[in-house]
């Protein structure tokens, strides 16, 4: 067995936005690392900072603090020009294939754009050949090569997004809700495709989603985020078998299970809604919605991730 290689390591990643009301804690001291060829699922609800995490670690947003190590190289303070070169190794797939593609470009133009942009191939013939090859890889019939995005359905448009990301032979792809806008049967096609690409090319994925069932199928490790922080992180199977943070438990229990009549576990309803991420006190952020909350939670401080069993991290005063 080859030695495990850490492709990406993030230390204390923090992104604040200044708003008229104060500091918005979008991402607040996130730590994780990913081995090459693995998938990390980042799960959470709207506003938990999962997309900002994805964008910040590709430096599409400048981090407020923290360190990003890609293949051991500290890229945190790289200039735009230097990042540009890095982008051939790290790519992103976006949620909405309807708005992330230029409607005036044909499929040929869309998929060849990153190849030209990074000057990977020179001659026109080579570029065309590579584009058609990419279309084969993502399962887009070659007859669509001169079509425009509006002529295609959501599933095919997402395949274009994937082909564009693959065009530069990246090592790491951040997938930001890649199947959320698609119907279930099409969703399954795209998930299978992503998985097959990972097997064939040894890709590393960061898979951002609100849908726990999708990451269960997909991820090796899962990190659950709440209000800018990771509240639990563990291997995928462990999260589903032994969810430990009260929020993870509630999130799992809220998924409607498509099973009738067989014994289902009782639902655990979460009260209230996510609190505002502006000017947060030094206290557990889940406090107001938590049933297990005790005096020690009220007194603070904000709990940090603690390893409760090998590779299983939880940020909770009670679950320790």
For residue 236, the minimal CB distance to another protein (Å) is: 6
Pairwise CA distance, residues 202 & 296, whole Å: 45
Q: Which of 64, 71, 147, 213 binds another protein (CB under 8 A)?
A: 213
Q: Which of 183, 291, 299, 307 binds another protein (CB under 8 A)?
A: 183
Q: Which is nearer to another protein, 166 or 214 (CB)?
A: 214
For residue 243, the minimal CB distance to another protein (Å) is: 14
Q: Could you tell me the two tokens for 289? A: 């919605």
Residue 214 binds to another protein (criterion: CB under 8 A): yes
Residue 185 binds to another protein (criterion: CB under 8 A): yes
Q: Are 16 and 182 within 8 A, CB to CB? A: no
Q: Which is nearer to another protein, 206 or 250 (CB)?
A: 250
User: How crowded is the C-beta side of 190, counted as CA atoms within 13 Å?
Assistant: 27
Q: Which DSSP letter does residue 47 get?
A: T
Name the helix (H) or strand (E) containing 108: helix 107-117
**Bridge partners of 229?**
226
Q: Which of 269, 282, 295, 310 binds another protein (CB under 8 A)?
A: 269
For residue 187, the minimal CB distance to another protein (Å) is: 7
Q: Which is nearer to another protein, 1 or 269 (CB)?
A: 269
For residue 209, the minimal CB distance to another protein (Å) is: 11
Pairwise CA distance, residues 315 & 290, whole Å: 13
For residue 291, the minimal CB distance to another protein (Å) is: 13
Least Cα distance to 127 among 118, 135, 115 occurs for: 115
Q: Which is nearer to another protein, 80 or 272 (CB)?
A: 272
Least Cα distance to 56 among 215, 205, 174, 142 occurs for: 174
Residue 38 burial (CB count, 10 A):
18
Helix 124-137 vs helix 154-166: crossing angle, to nearest 10: 130
For residue 72, the minimal CB distance to another protein (Å) is: 29
List C-alpha distances in Å: 225 to 160, 207, 209, 240. 29, 13, 11, 15
Q: Which stretch binds another protein (CB under 8 A): 19-27, 138-146, 163-171, 209-217?
A: 209-217
Q: Which of 46, 79, 123, 295 binds another protein (CB under 8 A)?
A: 46
Q: Which of 6, 108, 121, 186 binds another protein (CB under 8 A)?
A: 186
**Bridge partners of 314?**
232, 306
Q: Which of 2, 18, 81, 261 binds another protein (CB under 8 A)?
A: 261
Q: Which spans of this chain sit near another protein (rule: CB under 8 A)?
A: 45-46, 153-155, 183-189, 191-192, 195, 210-214, 216-218, 236-237, 250-251, 253-261, 267, 269-270, 273
């Amino acid at each position: 067995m080859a030695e495990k290689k850490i492709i990406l390591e993030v230390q204390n990643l923090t992104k604040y936005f200044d708003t008229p009301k104060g500091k918005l804690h979008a991402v607040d001291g996130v730590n994780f690392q990913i081995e090459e060829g693995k998938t990390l699922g980042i799960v959470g609800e709207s506003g938990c900072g999962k997309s900002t995490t994805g964008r910040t670690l590709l430096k599409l947003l400048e981090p407020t603090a923290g360190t990003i190590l890609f293949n051991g190289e500290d890229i945190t303070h790289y200039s735009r020009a230097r990042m540009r070169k890095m982008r051939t190794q790290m790519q992103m797939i976006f949620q909405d294939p309807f708005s992330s593609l230029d409607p005036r470009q044909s499929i040929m133009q869309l998929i060849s754009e990153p190849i030209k942009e990074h000057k990977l191939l020179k001659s026109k013939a080579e570029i065309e050949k590579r584009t058609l090859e990419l279309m084969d890889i993502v399962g887009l019939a070659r007859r669509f090569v001169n079509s425009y995005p509006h002529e295609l359905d959501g599933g095919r448009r997402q395949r274009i997004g994937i082909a564009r990301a693959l065009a530069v032979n990246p090592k790491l792809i951040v997938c930001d809700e890649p199947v959320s806008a698609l119907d279930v049967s099409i969703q399954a096609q795209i998930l299978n495709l992503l998985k097959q690409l990972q097997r064939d090319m040894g890709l590393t994925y960061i898979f951002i989603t609100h849908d726990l069932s999708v990451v269960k199928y997909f991820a090796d490790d899962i990190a659950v985020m709440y209000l800018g922080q990771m509240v639990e992180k563990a291997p995928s199977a462990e999260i589903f078998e032994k969810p430990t943070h009260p929020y993870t438990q509630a999130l799992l229990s809220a998924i409607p299970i498509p099973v009738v009549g067989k014994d289902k576990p009782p639902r655990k309803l979460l009260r209230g809604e996510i609190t505002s991420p502006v000017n947060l006190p030094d206290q557990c952020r889940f406090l107001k919605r938590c049933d297990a909350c005790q005096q020690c939670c009220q007194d603070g401080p904000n709990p940090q991730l603690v390893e409760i069993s090998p590779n299983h991290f939880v940020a909770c005063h009670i679950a320790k």
